[in-house]
């Protein structure tokens, strides 16, 4: 079968022929219907060196995947061949307290995981291929009726990641609250949809690009603000001087983190989702009183089930561009130069 593989750090992936996987006991092979191209894949191609993470190439890219059950290993129950499914992408040990409740991204026994801190497309072979081997059937989530695998694929990361970051702050997002979303890209525009579908908060979207702000409006943002020297003042004025109850930073650069702290309200949350390499000085007088700052990574398997339900009901639908496997590199190049609108889904 064909697969898009990262052969070495700091290189472009290559489309090559590899053997079709066969499931062992407890494993599942998924025929891939869609595999999302994620901005974090660019960090794998451009930024990482040996030792940056506890795993190395070669491996097949693609960590947000959905398709149909193709083959079942011995002992797998509850799934049938041909059933549409999504793949939960973070693969932990399965036995620690976090993994037992489905929070594999925060696995506390990395030595027992298939690949420490990774999963399919992150150290092990992912979904940018005709088939994907999932090492444990618990990572295979049946799709709700009416949700096509191509539409489900980006929900496994571009949906799940912002959903987790928002869900942990639901208690702050009552009527009268405000959320600022910084960065309306592949995750940010989905975050706006999730906020509108699950909370009563007012949403203010911030980006440098006019087309991104238009996308935010299409997704339900109540106000859009161009990023720049006056952005903090505009947001403060829009909130009556109070600031935001939640700031979601999908960029994570120095400038966006500084903006987030400048517009946050007292007793608020700042969630750093983007891995732009920025830092935020935190001291008693440098941030608002009782502002909590947190990094978030992916989400839990129970949360994925909730996201898929939102997708099946049409409440959350990432804007996608569908490309064949032959054009997967085109998706990454467009992502790198900022010309990709929404999320690219590779359809093998």
Contact 271, 294 (CB under 8 A): yes
Look up tokens 């398997």; give the residue.
301
250's CB contacts (< 8 A; 6+ apart) are 162, 181, 182, 183, 184, 185, 187, 188, 191, 273, 274
CATH 3.40.50.720 residue window(s) in the chain: 160-295
64's CB contacts (< 8 A; 6+ apart) are 35, 36, 38, 89, 121, 127, 153, 154, 155, 156, 157, 158
Per-residue model confidence (pLDDT) at position 342: 81
pLDDT higher than threshold 90 for residue 119: yes
In our burial notation (b when 16+ CB lie closer than 10 A, e otherwise), range 160-170 reads: bbbbbbbbbbe
For residue 37, the cross-strand partners are: 344
Distances (CA, A) of 222 to 147, 191, 242: 28, 13, 17
User: In which band, very low, low, confident or very high, does the pLDDT at 97 lie, cut at 50, 70 and 90?
Assistant: very high
User: In which band, very low, low, confident or very high, does the pLDDT at 340 lie, cut at 50, 70 and 90?
Assistant: confident
pLDDT higher than threshold 90 for residue 339: no
345 token code pair: 């889904």
Name the phi and psi angles at 255, rounded to 5: -65, -40
CATH fold group of domain 2-157+299-347: Quinone Oxidoreductase; Chain A, domain 1 (3.90.180)
| 107 vs 122: CA distance, rounded Å | 15
CATH 3.90.180.10 residue window(s) in the chain: 2-157+299-347
Average pLDDT over residues 14-25: 97
Per-residue model confidence (pLDDT) at position 52: 85
pLDDT higher than threshold 90 for residue 11: yes
pLDDT higher than threshold 90 for residue 232: yes
| 21 vs 131: CA distance, rounded Å | 7
Q: Report the SS3 class of residue 59.
A: strand
Per-residue model confidence (pLDDT) at position 341: 80
Per-residue model confidence as pLDDT tens digits over 177-212: 999 999 999 999 999 999 999 999 999 999 999 999
Distances (CA, A) of 270 to 179, 225, 243, 280, 294: 10, 18, 12, 11, 6
What's 152's DSSP letter? H
Per-residue model confidence as pLDDT tens digits over 303-315: 999 999 999 999 9
Mean pLDDT lowest for which of 1-15, 47-61, 174-188, 231-245? 47-61
Q: What percent of the chain has pLDDT over 70?
A: 100
Mean per-residue pLDDT of the chain: 96
Mention the CATH class of domain 160-295: alpha beta
Which DSSP string corresponds to 177-213? -EEEEE--STTHHHHHHHHHHH---EEEEEES-HHHH
């Amino acid at each position: 079968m064909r697969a898009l593989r990262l052969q070495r750090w700091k290189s472009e992936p290559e489309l090559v022929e590899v053997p079709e996987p066969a499931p062992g006991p407890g494993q599942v092979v998924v025929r891939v219907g869609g595999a999302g191209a994620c901005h974090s894949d660019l960090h794998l191609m451009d930024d990482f060196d040996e030792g940056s993470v506890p795993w190395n190439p070669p491996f097949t890219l693609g960590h947000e995947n959905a398709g149909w059950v193709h083959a079942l290993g011995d002992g797998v129950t509850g799934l049938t061949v041909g059933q549409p499914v999504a793949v939960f992408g973070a693969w932990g040990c399965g036995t620690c307290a976090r993994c037992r409740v489905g929070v594999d991204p925060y696995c506390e026994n990395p030595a027992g995981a298939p690949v420490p801190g990774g999963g399919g497309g992150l150290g092990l072979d992912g979904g940018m291929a005709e088939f994907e081997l999932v090492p444990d059937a618990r990572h295979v989530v049946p799709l709700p009726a009416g949700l096509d695998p191509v539409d489900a694929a980006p929900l496994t990361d571009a949906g799940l990641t912002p959903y987790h970051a928002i869900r942990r702050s639901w208690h702050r997002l009552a009527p009268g609250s405000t959320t600022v979303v910084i960065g309306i890209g592949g995750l940010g525009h989905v975050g706006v949809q999730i906020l509108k579908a699950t909370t009563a908060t007012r949403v203010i979207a911030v980006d440098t690009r006019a087309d991104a702000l238009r996308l935010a409006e299409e997704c339900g943002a109540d106000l859009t603000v161009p990023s720049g020297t006056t952005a903090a003042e505009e947001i403060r004025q829009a909130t009556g001087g109070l600031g935001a109850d939640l700031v979601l930073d999908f960029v994570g650069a120095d400038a966006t983190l500084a903006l987030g702290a400048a517009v946050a309200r007292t007793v608020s949350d700042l969630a750093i989702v983007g891995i732009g390499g920025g830092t935020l000085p935190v001291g008693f007088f440098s941030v608002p009183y009782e502002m909590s700052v947190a990094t978030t990574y992916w989400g839990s398997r129970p949360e994925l089930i909730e996201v898929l339900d939102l997708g099946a009901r049409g409440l959350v639908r990432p804007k996608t561009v569908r490309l064949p496997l032959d054009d997967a590199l085109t998706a990454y190049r467009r992502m790198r130069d900022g010309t990709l609108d929404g999320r690219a889904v590779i359809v093998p």
